[in-house]
């Protein structure tokens, strides 16, 4: 008995042609399903899920070109290989078959070896595609399970973290000595960092699923930058200094006549905090991190505001400059042997900026530092002052 090789649908309104092709294919080990016309052929495609369709052109109810077009137009069957079997020799007929989506041709009278070879090749291609689709579906299921588990864990983490932060604040006002206060500060910074990662996980998940809604309101850019940097380092005169066993100077350079943005204050603030925090992390022992903001009218039909965070860190190789924005994407610095991304912060930044209709990117040279840019389009009405609250 021949080994089962697959299922082939033969569509032809002439019984003799059906018998000929069926005989060749059955001997070769294929299961054969037949249809006497175009409409019946489409029903058999849906009912039997063949691996290949051998399709005659000249049929009374619906010609083979139309049957092929309908098979290829259906997302469920668009990858199904279709072989046009025809006695037509004109180039125009072959062009019509190609335009209809046919994968191959057989010319009548058919040759037995040619039929077997073409069908075998197309069955192999379809099986490979089916295996790929199955693997993709399994991957999506695994990703869904992972994301669901991560969401559950994140929600469970927020409650104890909030309790820890609340207890630390209570200890801070309980007149601790200098050493105890230093320990409280260390614990608070670490807990806030962990809470930030938890919030990033939650917000990335919400933005990916379209569940997060922007809370747009008029905001002053100078206030946005000042408030964001205040959360990273205390104000010391006109500049800011933060110390993590290092001295990093934070500088601000704001352009003139900055407009009022209609944006989500919290999301944009967290974008700045993420970008500046990353810059500080990889800045040399004594360095400068600068935040620039200016109006950008380079695209007249879509003016906006351009933010830039510059550092003098190890830089990012060109081949990794897109990957750092991927979810859980991390890049190794060959200069410092350190990770250049936590894997979530920059993903959050990308999604938050894109939710505002903007763009984010990096320009970097290894050994010379990095410039992280994000552009927020103004959209709607351009304000130069906050609307009157009255």
- Largest alpha-carbon pair distance within the chain? 100
Rounded CA-CA distance 94/105 in Å is: 8
Question: Is the link from the previous residue into 109 a cis peptide, with omega within 30 of 0?
Answer: yes
Q: Look at the block and give the residue holding tokens 């082939």.
A: 8
Confidence at residue 108, expressed as pLDDT on a 0 to 100 scale: 83
Confidence at residue 105, expressed as pLDDT on a 0 to 100 scale: 84
pLDDT in tens, 163-215: 888 888 888 888 888 888 888 888 887 887 787 777 777 777 777 666 677 88
DSSP 185: H
Q: Do the strands 286-296 and 247-254 form a parallel or antiparallel pair, or are they unpaired? A: parallel
Listed range (88-92, 185-189, 243-247, 339-343) with the worst mean pLDDT: 339-343
383 forms beta bridges with 260
pLDDT in tens, 272-324: 988 998 888 877 767 888 999 998 866 666 788 999 999 888 888 887 777 78
Rounded CA-CA distance 48/333 in Å is: 55
Three-state SS at 304? strand
Could you tell me the end-to-end alpha-carbon distance of the chain, in angstroms, rounded to an integer? Answer: 89
Mean pLDDT, residues 149-167: 76
Distances (CA, A) of 276 to 11, 69, 71: 65, 54, 54
Rounded CA-CA distance 134/141 in Å is: 11
> What is the pLDDT confidence band of residue 326, given thresholds at 50, 70 and 90?
confident
Rounded CA-CA distance 342/325 in Å is: 10
Confidence at residue 333, expressed as pLDDT on a 0 to 100 scale: 45
How open is the CA angle 371-376-377, to the nearest 5 degrees? 135
Three-state SS at 358? coil
DSSP 234: -
**Does residue 88 or residue 34 have the better pLDDT?**
34
**Neighbour tally for 17: CB within 10 Å:** 18
Instruction: Please state the separation of Cα 225 from the chain's center in Å.
Output: 28
Confidence at residue 100, expressed as pLDDT on a 0 to 100 scale: 86
The model's pTM: 0.53
């Amino acid at each position: 008995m021949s080994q089962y090789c697959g299922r082939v649908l033969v569509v032809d309104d002439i019984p003799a042609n059906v018998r000929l092709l069926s005989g060749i294919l059955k001997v070769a080990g294929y299961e054969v399903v037949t249809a006497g016309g175009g409409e019946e052929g489409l029903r058999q495609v849906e009912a039997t899920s063949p691996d290949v369709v051998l399709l005659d052109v000249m049929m009374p109810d619906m010609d083979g070109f139309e049957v092929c077009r309908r098979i290829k137009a259906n997302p469920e069957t668009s990858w199904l290989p279709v072989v046009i079997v025809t006695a037509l020799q004109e180039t125009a007929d072959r062009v019509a078959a190609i335009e209809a989506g046919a994968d191959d041709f057989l010319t009548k009278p058919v040759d037995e070896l040619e039929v077997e070879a073409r069908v075998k090749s197309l069955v192999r291609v379809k099986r490979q595609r089916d295996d790929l689709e199955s693997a993709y579906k399994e991957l999506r299921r695994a990703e869904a399970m992972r994301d669901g588990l991560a969401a559950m864990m994140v929600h469970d983490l927020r409650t104890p973290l909030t309790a820890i932060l609340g207890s630390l604040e209570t200890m801070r006002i309980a007149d601790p000595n200098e050493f105890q206060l230093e320990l409280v500060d260390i614990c608070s910074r670490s807990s806030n960092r962990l809470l930030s990662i938890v919030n990033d996980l939650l917000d990335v998940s919400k933005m990916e699923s379209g569940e997060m809604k922007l809370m747009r309101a008029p905001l002053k850019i100078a206030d946005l930058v000042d408030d964001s940097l205040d959360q990273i380092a205390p104000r010391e005169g006109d500049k800011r200094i933060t110390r993590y066993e290092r001295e990093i100077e934070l500088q601000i350079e704001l352009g003139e006549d900055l407009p009022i943005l209609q944006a989500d204050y919290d999301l944009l603030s967290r974008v700045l905090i993420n970008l500046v925090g990353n810059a500080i992390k990889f800045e040399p022992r004594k360095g400068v991190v600068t935040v620039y903001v200016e109006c950008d009218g380079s695209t007249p039909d879509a003016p906006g505001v351009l933010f830039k965070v510059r550092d003098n860190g190890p830089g990012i190789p060109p081949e990794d400059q897109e990957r750092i924005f991927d979810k859980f994407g991390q890049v190794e610095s060959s200069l410092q042997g350190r990770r250049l991304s936590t894997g979530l912060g920059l993903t959050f930044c990308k999604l938050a900026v894109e939710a505002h209709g903007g763009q984010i990117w990096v320009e970097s040279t290894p050994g010379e530092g990095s410039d992280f840019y994000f552009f927020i389009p103004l959209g709607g009405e351009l304000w130069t002052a906050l609307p009157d609250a009255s």
